[in-house]
Structures are given as structure tokens and as C-alpha cells.
């Protein structure tokens, strides 16, 4: 998927291509959704219509259920709640009960999107929202780098009161490559209430001299001098490829480096200079 198509996908104007083993219209699985207060759950106890009902998770994270009383739900997945109900109903009430729990209506979740987006800040999204939904809401830009970072709020923290910066909770982070976003492999990445998505600016290098399209280019993953020349349209007939140099800042000082092999790596901030050959 090209960058232009990625922007259209994030804006909701086109559909991401299906990945291997997943149809284009497939919905993400719901059993991994983390339930929270104000979610509406549809509980089905097969064969027992009196126990099949809709329940709303209260502010304390629990809901009331006949025969067994209060059931903890907030912070648990739908599958875990199913298991809890089945165990409690089997404890003196039903023989081998079959229980199904689905989310009938999602609560709103607060997430923060920061960095290289058109509208950074606090976003209110429907529950079970994906990172693609959040990026589309914030306006993903082509200035973004080769990855995005999701920082989860530390366990046991107070209610959402601002973003979690990447340096604040390094243990609760998920890094997603831009390539996975472009290929539609991130559609099933679920967000949690209070998550912060940080979109860093693309790292760049500059190439000047005798190339067809001198200028600034983004670094997406590992890059060497030969690949950098290709990004700039290739060297011209007048280029001296055996005398290419790189200006690089090392420990605050500018270093002038001669390129001995075109497979040498290019680093963010480098300036590649392609001189004219001697006649």
C-alpha cells in the first residue's frame, strides 16, 4: 500500500487490503476487548431464558446477575467474564452451563494522539476502537516516521488525566511499524482507555550534488548510500561516485567522512555530497 493509499485508508475513504487469511470485510474478534464501566453486555445462558439478559457495567466495574450477585467485569476480557459466570453458575445452580457474553454497546474511551498528526490531542472513541480509528480521527500525515508507539496507562493508575508520554511508561508500550500500518496488519490492534499514541517525525537525510533529484528524503528502516542514490533518482553522468562524502554530526561536532563503499549505512541527519567527476 502506498503512502497516499495509507492516508485514504486512515481517513476512512477506502478499505485496507485484506491480509493473508483475513477477508477484507472481516470484523476484528471481540473476545479480547477489555470491558469497562458503562459497557452494555448481552449475556446468554443457553436453555435458561430467565438468565438471558442485558446488563450494564456500573461505575464500580461490576454488574448484578441473578442467583450469583455482583460480578466483576471492568478490566476483564469478554472471554474471562464468560468463564467467571460459567464457574459461578455451575457452583450449585446449573449443570454444565453454556454461557455467551457479547458487547451490546461500547462505552466511550479516552485516548491521546500526539506528534506528527494534523489534530493532536484528546480523542473520544467508541469502545473496541483500533489504532487505525484513532490515527484517522487525528489526521495521520505523510511527515510521520517509520513507526508509532502506543503507551498504556500504568496498572492501578488514577482515572485518565492526560497523556502518557513514551518515556513515562516504557514497560507498557507497543511499537507498530509504518509498514504494518500500510499493509493493513494493524487493524486488529485494540486500544485501552487512557492510551497515548505517539507519532514521531520521520528521520531524514539530505543529498546534494550530481544526482537527478537532490533534496531531503525520509529514512524508513535501514538505508545505505546506494539506496540513498536511488531515492534521489540516481547519479548523473557527471557524478564521481568514487568521491562521495558524508557530512555527519558526531557528539556535537561536524565530521566530514569519505564513503569507501556504497553499502555504507546512512544515518538520520546525514548530508550526502556527490561531487562532479574530473574530465
- Residues 44-57 have pLDDT tens digits of 999 999 999 999 99
Q: Note whether residue 33 is domain-resident.
A: no
pLDDT band at 20 (very low <50, low <70, confident <90, very high): very low
Average pLDDT across the chain, whole number: 83
Whether residue 269 sits in one domain with residue 208: yes
Task: Tell me how far apart the alpha carbons of residues 94 and 78 are, in angstroms, rounded to a whole number.
Answer: 21
Q: What is the pLDDT of residue 143?
A: 74
Q: Is the pLDDT of residue 165 over 80?
A: no
State pLDDT tens for residues 213-252.
999 998 877 899 999 999 999 999 999 999 999 999 999 9
Domain span at residue 172 reads 3-11+107-199
Which of 105, 129, 148 finishes a domain?
Answer: 105
Q: Note whether residue 120 is domain-resident.
A: yes
State pLDDT tens for residues 129-162.
788 889 989 988 777 887 899 988 776 555 556 8
Q: Cell 537525510: give the residue.
A: 205
Q: What is the pLDDT of residue 108?
A: 75
Q: Cell 450449585: give the residue.
A: 92
Whether residue 73 sits in one domain with residue 45: yes
Q: What is the pLDDT of residue 152?
A: 83
Radius of gyration of the chain (CA): 26
E-strand ranges in 53-133 read: 53-56, 62-65, 69-72, 99-105, 108-115, 121-126
Sign of dihedral through CA atoms 215, 219, 224, 227? Answer: negative
Q: Note whether residue 77 is domain-resident.
A: yes
Q: Cell 494522539: give the residue.
A: 113
Residue-wise over 217-245: b if at least 16 C-beta within 10 A, else e?
Answer: bbbbeebebbbbbebbeebeeebeeeebe
Q: What order do you get walking across the sheet with 147-151 strand by strand?
A: 121-126, 108-115, 196-199, 147-151, 173-177
Per this entry, what is the length of the chain? Answer: 279
DSSP-derived secondary structure letter, 49? G
Q: What is the pLDDT of residue 33?
A: 77
Q: Note whether residue 31 is domain-resident.
A: no
Per cent of the chain over pLDDT 90 is 50
Q: What is the pLDDT of residue 11?
A: 46
Whether residue 96 sits in one domain with residue 162: no
Which of 62, 84, 105 finishes a domain?
Answer: 105
- Count, in order, helices (H) and strands (E) of the chain: 5, 15
Amino acid at each position: 500500500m502506498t503512502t497516499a493509499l495509507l492516508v485514504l485508508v486512515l481517513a476512512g475513504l477506502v478499505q485496507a487490503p485484506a491480509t493473508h487469511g483475513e477477508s477484507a470485510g472481516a470484523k476484528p474478534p471481540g473476545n479480547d476487548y477489555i470491558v469497562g464501566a458503562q459497557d452494555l453486555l448481552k449475556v446468554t445462558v443457553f436453555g435458561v431464558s430467565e438468565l438471558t439478559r442485558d446488563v450494564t457495567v456500573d461505575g464500580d466495574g461490576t454488574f448484578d446477575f441473578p442467583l450469583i450477585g455482583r460480578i466483576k467485569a471492568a478490566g476483564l476480557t469478554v472471554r474471562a467474564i464468560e468463564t467467571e459466570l460459567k464457574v459461578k453458575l455451575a457452583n450449585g445452580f446449573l449443570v454444565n452451563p453454556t454461557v455467551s457474553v457479547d458487547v451490546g454497546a461500547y462505552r466511550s474511551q479516552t485516548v491521546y494522539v500526539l506528534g506528527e498528526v494534523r489534530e493532536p490531542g484528546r480523542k473520544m472513541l467508541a469502545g473496541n476502537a483500533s489504532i487505525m480509528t484513532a490515527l484517522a480521527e487525528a489526521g495521520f500525515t505523510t511527515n510521520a516516521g517509520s513507526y508509532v508507539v502506543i503507551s498504556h496507562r500504568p496498572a492501578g493508575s488514577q482515572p485518565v488525566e492526560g497523556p502518557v508520554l513514551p518515556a513515562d511508561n516504557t514497560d507498557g508500550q507497543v511499537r507498530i511499524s509504518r509498514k504494518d500500518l500500510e499493509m493493513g496488519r494493524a487493524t486488529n490492534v485494540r486500544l485501552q482507555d487512557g492510551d497515548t499514541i505517539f507519532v514521531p517525525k520521520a528521520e531524514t537525510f539530505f543529498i546534494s550534488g550530481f544526482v537527478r533529484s537532490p533534496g531531503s528524503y525520509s529514512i524508513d528502516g535501514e538505508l545505505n548510500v546506494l539506496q540513498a542514490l536511488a531515492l534521489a533518482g540516481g547519479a548523473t553522468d557527471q557524478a564521481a561516485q568514487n568521491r562521495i562524502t558524508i557530512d555527519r554530526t558526531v557528539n556535537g561536532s561536524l565530521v566530514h567522512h569519505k564513503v569507501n563503499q556504497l553499502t555504507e549505512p546512512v544515518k538520520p541527519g546525514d548530508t550526502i555530497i556527490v561531487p562532479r567527476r574530473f574530465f
